[in-house]
Amino acid sequence: MSIDRVSTAQQSAFFLSQINQAGAKLDQTNRQIASGVVADTYAGFGDQAQVLQATLSAQARNTAYTSATNLASTQVDLQDTQLTSLSDLAAQLKKAVSDAVANNDPTGLMAQVDGIFSQAVSILNSKDANGDYIYAGGKTDTAPVTVSSLSDLIAAAPGSIFANGDNRKAVQVADGQTVSFGVTASDAGSGLLGALKAIASFDSGTDGDFNGSTNLSQAQTDFLTGQIASTGTVAAALTNVTAQNGNVYNQLQTAQTQQGATDTLYKGFVDKIQNTNMAQAATQLSLNQTALQAALQVTATLNQLSLLNYMPSGQ
């Protein structure tokens, strides 16, 4: 007669499966601690997988919006600086005309007019880091101001001074939200170049020649007096354009703040789902180690038992 072991094949298979499960859980916890993430596939996140995918997708869109908004903000900020310079040039022109009238002396007026013209054209024909004309209104490979000297300005037909398009740029700053930005050369410079053209044209006419005059004639006084008001209107208009551009800049700054807050929200949400909670993982690791050790000990003990362990000992 044979003395069988107490454990059956079915029991052994059951406890071996328990060992495998405990070992698998221990391995999973070790991987989570080592990698810092709960799982390396979406399937490993269980019922949180769809939420994680949707959040990561939304985060990627927000990142793209942020990059585009940063570029737009940089251009608008640059234009703000340049528009402020144009406003200063308009104010300089008004002062030069006013001083000529107040002092009854036009000497040097045209030198100032020429300098203001050159600076204005340089600003309006400026390019960005990619070599595109900033004030081109969509025609980024064409200089928006077609004249390069006061004589060109005098000879230019109405409507031929500017070659820019009318398109303004738009940037998407959030889902369903866009901000239009950008100023064209004609928007910013038509008034200033118009005033410069009027003065230069008068100077080249029969009543002009400011450089050859030590005192103003009545015709020159009347003309320049009228230009004081005109240049004041130009300066006010440029200030308004600068203010509108500043409002756009503020919109973009607000959008950037919201994008930053949204990114922080998404990161926190993703971290909560995706990243390993080290304190919980350490506790779970200890539990898994204990469970595996217990399964191994129970299985080993059962495999060593036989009916002899339960037979009474001899007297």
Question: By CB neighbour count within 10 A (0-12 exposed, 13-18 middle, 19+ buried), where does 30 fall?
Answer: middle
* pLDDT attached to residue 307: 44
- Cα separation of 75 and 164, whole Å? 17
DSSP assignment of 186-232:
HHHHHHHHHHHHHHHHHHHSTT--GGG-SS--HHHHHHHHHHHHHHH
pLDDT number for residue 278? 44
Q: Chunk the chain into consecutive blocks of 10 residues (it has 315) and report each block's average pLDDT, rounded to whole numbers.
A: 51 60 53 52 63 82 95 93 96 96 94 97 94 92 96 93 93 94 94 97 92 90 96 94 94 95 84 58 52 57 52 52
What integer pLDDT is reported at residue 294 of this predicted model?
58
Q: Residue type at 91?
A: A
Q: Answer yes or no: are the C-beta atoms of 299 and 3 closer than 8 Å.
A: no
- Reported pTM: 0.70
Q: Which fold has domain 64-272?
A: f41 fragment of flagellin, N-terminal domain (1.20.1330)
- The Cα angle at residue 214 between residues 213 and 219, in degrees rounded to 5: 55
pLDDT at 266: 83
Residue 156, helix vs strand vs coil: coil
Distances (CA, A) of 97 to 23, 90, 140, 218, 219: 90, 11, 35, 15, 14
- Sign of the dihedral defined by the CA atoms of residues 261, 262, 267, 269, in that order: positive
Q: What's the pLDDT score for residue 267?
A: 82
Residue whose C-alpha is closest to residue 262's, from 173, 178, 188: 173
